């Protein structure tokens, strides 16, 4: 997953509005080339999740400091990986 840092920050950490693209899905490669250049003063965030670890991976940290569910927010974005 790739998204914009400014929109993530302005949305209070809600990933729904900041997701830009699914960079790869079910890809055995250990690296992926992200395309595009963020606008001046912005940046990209990139999240990965493991697969084959006893079920579907997660974007969530599982720590008490995490606000909301990244999995649910990313799924609601319309640009989530299938």
Domains in the chain: boundaries:
1-28+40-82
Residue 49 region, left (φ>0) first, then alpha (ψ -120 to 50), else beta? beta
Q: How far apart are CA 12 and CA 6, in angstroms?
A: 10
Contacts of 11 (CB under 8 A, 6+ apart): 17, 18
What is the arithmetic mean of pLDDT over 4-25?
92
d(CA 79, CA 66) in angstroms, rounded, equals 22
pLDDT digits (tens, 9 = 90+) for 37-81: 999 999 999 988 776 666 667 888 888 888 889 889 989 998 888
Q: For position 53, what pLDDT does the model report?
A: 61
* pTM tops 0.85, yes or no: no
pLDDT of residue 76: 93
What is the C-alpha separation between 32 and 51, in angstroms, rounded?
Answer: 16
């Amino acid at each position: 997953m790739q998204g914009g840092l400014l929109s993530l920050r302005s949305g209070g950490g809600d990933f729904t509005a900041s997701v830009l693209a699914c960079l790869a899905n079910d890809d055995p490669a250990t690296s992926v080339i992200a395309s595009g250049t963020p606008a001046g003063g912005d940046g990209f965030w990139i999240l990965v999740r493991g697969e084959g670890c006893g079920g579907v991976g997660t974007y969530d940290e599982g720590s008490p400091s995490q606000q909301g569910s990244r999995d649910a927010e990313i799924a609601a974005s319309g640009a989530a990986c299938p």
